[in-house]
């Protein structure tokens, strides 16, 4: 009934381009949208690798913009009220200390998972203190090629 | 510079493999130090049984976890994985996951109260040795330290502290609460030995004490050393005795017999002094037992056993219990029974304001129940 959370000490993951890395963390940037990105597909894998839009952070003003199709979103870089830890699940099949496995549902309650071999392991990979927030309505762009 | 933002090539399988967790300042510092290699590798654990609210435990502290749903969604954006970076333009980034909830953490008290129930009927007393012989039959109702670690929602440090203050022995991994009467008898043996071996209270020789107890009274060394660690500090083979706590435990055992029938204060003190012996009787004082007895309202010299530890932990039911026991209290009489739920006298006065009504008469301030629903 224990889910271990380990703190990754160092990583060899690719780094973000400098413009995005300076926002908060050099590997992960959080982008907050009002609403969600909805994509029509028959199978979730259809959207894999597909282009969503163009993300830009203006050097001089630090103003982020996101252009999706004919729509332009304007945002800002905001400091989080409290730092956020980014956790990644890593499923290990190795010899886990406990032979029973429990996962968590959205309420944070533990639910038993009946698979004996796979252990849900969570890794803290980053602490993020600032994020990009697109808080305005999308504006239609007229007369520009996408 | 413009960055192409795409779904990750593995976004359909990556989904819900990310979580965001809000960090209190102390945890944030802890993790940052670990990232910077300033501290030893760190790991936390999430503990909880089905039906319980999960908690996050560090090695020292416990936090309750609460999932908060966001109306906005947060995209977790990283560079594309190295192996596939050629498929993307320069400076491209990918969406790994969309998150719609964050986990909030709030510091919490360890949930040690379950220990009582788990260990009911597992008391350790002097007949323990015979029991060991047919140990095999009893394997199924054993409760081990490892089980406590996984089932009790508390950090390791808090669990260890909880076992210590509850006087729970760890015998070859199995948890056994020592029976209070046996503990008091053992403590008397300790006191006698301290005198007969002429050991100092500041640095008593642990090995001499435990071998004397093992040889003369067949008390296992693991039991005697654990008891010593409960009532003082062991450092480099020397026991710095917390004599007050030893005397208190012996006194509690004397008092415990007078739950229904009161005892005269002077008789209690005399019995108590008799048990601790001449050398240490100067430490005997009724104030050590504060919060464990109640004087009869009509005769202040008659005392009854009334432990604060058996009262409810939540303030409201505790006050209800206290006012059932006695309809009105003087502040000095009620405070010992609030000491374990209020950190200081300011907190105590706040509780009194909230749950009791003060009235003043010739004898001073009396506290009565705030709402008398039953008329």
Would you state the pLDDT for residue B129?
A: 55
Total domains present in chain B: 2
Quick check: A3 and B46 CB within 8 A?
Answer: yes
Would you state the pLDDT for residue A114?
A: 40
Q: What average pLDDT does this structure show over A34-52?
A: 83
Is B263 inside any structural domain?
no
Residue B80 has pLDDT above 60, yes or no: yes
Is B59 inside any structural domain?
yes
Write the burial class of residue B284 (CB in 10 Å: 0-12 exposed, 13-18 middle, 19+ buried): buried
Q: Which of A68, A84, A96 to mutate to test the interface with B (most CBs of B within 10 A)?
A: A84
Nearest in space to B44 (alpha carbons), one of A118, A94, A97, A3: A3
Nearest in space to B71 (alpha carbons), one of A79, A82, A134, A36: A36
Containing structural domain, residue B371: 311-375
Q: How would DSSP label each residue in B122-134?
A: --B-TTHHHHHHT
B244 vs A45: which has the higher pLDDT: B244
Instruction: Say yes or no: B6 contacts chain A, CB-CB below 8 A.
Output: yes
Is B272 inside any structural domain?
no
Q: What average pLDDT does this structure show over B82-91?
A: 79
Residues in A touching B8 (Cβ below 8 Å)? 48-49
Beta bridge mates, A35: B72
Q: What average pLDDT does this structure show over B179-194?
A: 92
Residue A93 has pLDDT above 70, yes or no: no
Instruction: Say yes or no: A96 contacts chain B, CB-CB below 8 A.
Output: no
Residues in A touching B98 (Cβ below 8 Å)? 36-37
Would you state the pLDDT for residue A17?
A: 87
Q: Return mean pLDDT, chain B.
A: 86
Would you state the pLDDT for residue A112?
A: 45
Q: What average pLDDT does this structure show over B87-109?
A: 89
Nearest CB to B101; choose among A19, A36, A106: A106
Quick check: A7 and B4 CB within 8 A?
Answer: no
Is B344 inside any structural domain?
yes
Nearest in space to B101 (alpha carbons), one of B67, B129, B131, B134: B67
DSSP character for B189?
H
Residues in A touching B49 (Cβ below 8 Å)? 1, 110
Q: Which residue among B42, B72, B107 closes a domain?
A: B107
B37 vs B2: which has the higher pLDDT: B2
Would you state the pLDDT for residue A133?
A: 94
Would you state the pLDDT for residue B33?
A: 87
Secondary-structure breakdown of chain A: helix, strand, coil percentages, each rounded to the nearest 5: 5, 50, 45
Quick check: A85 and B6 CB within 8 A?
Answer: no
Residues in B touching A121 (Cβ below 8 Å)? none
Q: What average pLDDT does this structure show over B54-83?
A: 90
Instruction: Say yes or no: B34 contacts chain A, CB-CB below 8 A.
Output: yes
Is B304 inside any structural domain?
no
Instruction: Say yes or no: B18 contacts chain A, CB-CB below 8 A.
Output: yes
pLDDT range class, residue B252, cuts 50, 70, 90: very high
Would you state the pLDDT for residue A91?
A: 67
Closest Cα in chain A to B28:
A83
Residue A7 has pLDDT above 90, yes or no: no
CB B103 within 8 A of CB B20: yes
Q: Name the region of B232 (left: φ>0; alpha: ψ -120 to 50; beta: rest).
A: left
Chain A contacts in chain B segment 119-158 (CB below 8 A): 149-151
Q: How far is CA B265 from CA A141, B188, B275, in A?
A: 89, 21, 16
Would you state the pLDDT for residue B12?
A: 75
Would you state the pLDDT for residue B43?
A: 87
| Number of other residues whose CB lies within 10 A of the CB of residue A100 | 14
Is B84 inside any structural domain?
yes
B39 vs B53: which has the higher pLDDT: B53
CB pairs under 8 A between A and B: 215
Instruction: Say yes or no: A103 contacts chain B, CB-CB below 8 A.
Output: no
Nearest CB to B6; choose among A16, A51, A106: A51
Instruction: Say yes or no: A117 contacts chain B, CB-CB below 8 A.
Output: no
Q: Which residue among B57, B73, B107 closes a domain?
A: B107
Is B127 inside any structural domain?
no
Residues in B touching A77 (Cβ below 8 Å)? none
Instruction: Say yes or no: A114 contacts chain B, CB-CB below 8 A.
Output: no
Instruction: Say yes or no: A109 contacts chain B, CB-CB below 8 A.
Output: yes
Q: What average pLDDT does this structure show over B298-315?
A: 85
Residue B267 has pLDDT above 80, yes or no: yes
Residue B309's contacts (CB-CB under 8 Å, 6 or more residues apart) are B340
Residues in A touching B102 (Cβ below 8 Å)? 84
The torsion defined by the Cα of A84, A85, A90 and A92, in degrees rounded to 10, comes to -140
Q: How far is CA A79 from CA A29, B239, B283, in A?
A: 12, 52, 58
CB A63 within 8 A of CB A76: yes
Would you state the pLDDT for residue A145?
A: 56
Chain A contacts in chain B segment 183-212 (CB below 8 A): none
Residue B122 has pLDDT above 80, yes or no: yes
The mean-pLDDT minimum among A57-71, A127-141, B3-17, B257-271 falls in B3-17
**Length of chain A in terms of residues written:** 146
Q: Which residue among B81, B107, B133 closes a domain?
A: B107
The mean-pLDDT minimum among B50-64, B114-128, B178-192 falls in B114-128
Q: Return mean pLDDT, chain A.
A: 78
CB B337 within 8 A of CB B322: yes
Quick check: B47 and A2 CB within 8 A?
Answer: yes
Residue B332's contacts (CB-CB under 8 Å, 6 or more residues apart) are none
Q: How would DSSP label each residue in A83-131?
A: EEEEEEEEEE-S--SSSSEEEE-TTSBEEEE--SS-EEEEEEEEEEEEE
B114 vs A96: which has the higher pLDDT: B114
Is B320 inside any structural domain?
yes
ipTM of predicted complex: 0.80
**pLDDT tens digits along B147-165:** 898 889 999 999 999 999 8
Residue A77's contacts (CB-CB under 8 Å, 6 or more residues apart) are A23, A57, A62, A64, A130, A131, A132, A133
Q: What is the pTM of this model?
A: 0.77
Instruction: Say yes or no: A56 contacts chain B, CB-CB below 8 A.
Output: yes
Nearest in space to B50 (alpha carbons), one of A110, A107, A105: A110
Closest Cα in chain B to A11:
B35
């Amino acid at each position: 009934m224990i889910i271990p959370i380990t703190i990754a000490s160092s990583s060899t993951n690719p780094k973000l381009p400098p413009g995005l890395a300076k926002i908060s963390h050099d590997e992960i940037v959080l982008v907050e949208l009002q609403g969600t990105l909805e994509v029509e597909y028959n199978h979730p894998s259809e959207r894999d690798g597909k282009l969503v839009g163009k993300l830009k952070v203006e050097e001089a003003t630090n103003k982020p913009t996101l252009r999706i199709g004919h729509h332009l979103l304007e945002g800002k870089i905001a400091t989080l009220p409290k730092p956020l830890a980014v956790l990644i699940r890593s499923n290990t099949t190795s010899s886990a200390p406990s032979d029973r496995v429990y996962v968590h549902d959205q309420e944070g309650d533990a639910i038993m998972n009946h698979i004996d071999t796979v252990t849900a392991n969570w890794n803290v990979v980053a602490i993020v203190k600032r994020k990009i927030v697109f808080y305005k309505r999308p504006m239609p762009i007229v007369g520009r090629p996408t | 510079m413009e960055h192409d933002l795409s779904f990750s090539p593995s976004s359909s399988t990556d989904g819900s493999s990310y979580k965001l967790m809000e960090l209190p300042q102390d945890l944030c510092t802890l993790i940052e130090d670990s990232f910077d290699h300033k501290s030893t590798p760190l790991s936390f654990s999430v503990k909880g049984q089905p039906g319980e609210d999960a908690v996050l435990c560090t090695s020292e502290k416990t936090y309750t976890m609460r999932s908060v749903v966001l109306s906005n969604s947060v995209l977790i954006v990283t560079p594309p994985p190295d192996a596939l970076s050629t498929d993307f333009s320069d400076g491209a980034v990918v969406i790994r996951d969309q998150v719609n909830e964050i986990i909030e953490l709030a510091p919490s008290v360890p949930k040690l109260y379950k220990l009582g129930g788990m260990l009911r009927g597992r008391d350790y007393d002097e007949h323990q040795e015979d029991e060991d012989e047919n140990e095999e039959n009893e394997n199924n109702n054993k409760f081990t330290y490892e089980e406590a670690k996984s089932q009790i929602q508390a950090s390791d440090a808090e669990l260890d502290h909880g076992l210590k203050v509850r006087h729970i022995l760890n015998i070859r991994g199995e948890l056994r609460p020592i029976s209070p009467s046996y503990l008091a008898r053992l403590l008397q043996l300790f006191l006698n030995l301290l005198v007969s071996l002429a050991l100092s209270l500041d640095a008593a020789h642990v090995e001499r004490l435990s071998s004397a107890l093992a040889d003369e009274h067949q008390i296992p060394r693991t039991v005697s050393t654990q008891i010593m660690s409960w009532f003082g500090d062991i450092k480099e083979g020397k026991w710095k005795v917390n004599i007050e706590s030893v005397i208190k435990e012996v006194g509690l055992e004397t008092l415990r017999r007078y739950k229904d029938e009161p005892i005269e204060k002077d008789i209690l003190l005399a019995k108590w002094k008799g048990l601790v012996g001449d050398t240490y009787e100067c430490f005997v004082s009724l104030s050590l037992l504060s919060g464990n007895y109640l004087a009869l309202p009509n005769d202040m010299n008659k005392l009854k056993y009334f432990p604060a530890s058996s009262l409810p932990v939540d303030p409201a039911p505790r006050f209800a219990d206290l006012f059932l026991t006695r309809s009105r209290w003087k502040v000095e009489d009620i405070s010992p029974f609030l000491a374990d739920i209020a950190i200081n006298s300011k907190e105590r006065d706040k509780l009194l304001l909230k749950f009791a009504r003060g009235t003043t008469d010739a004898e001073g301030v009396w506290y009565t129940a705030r709402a008398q629903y039953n008329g």
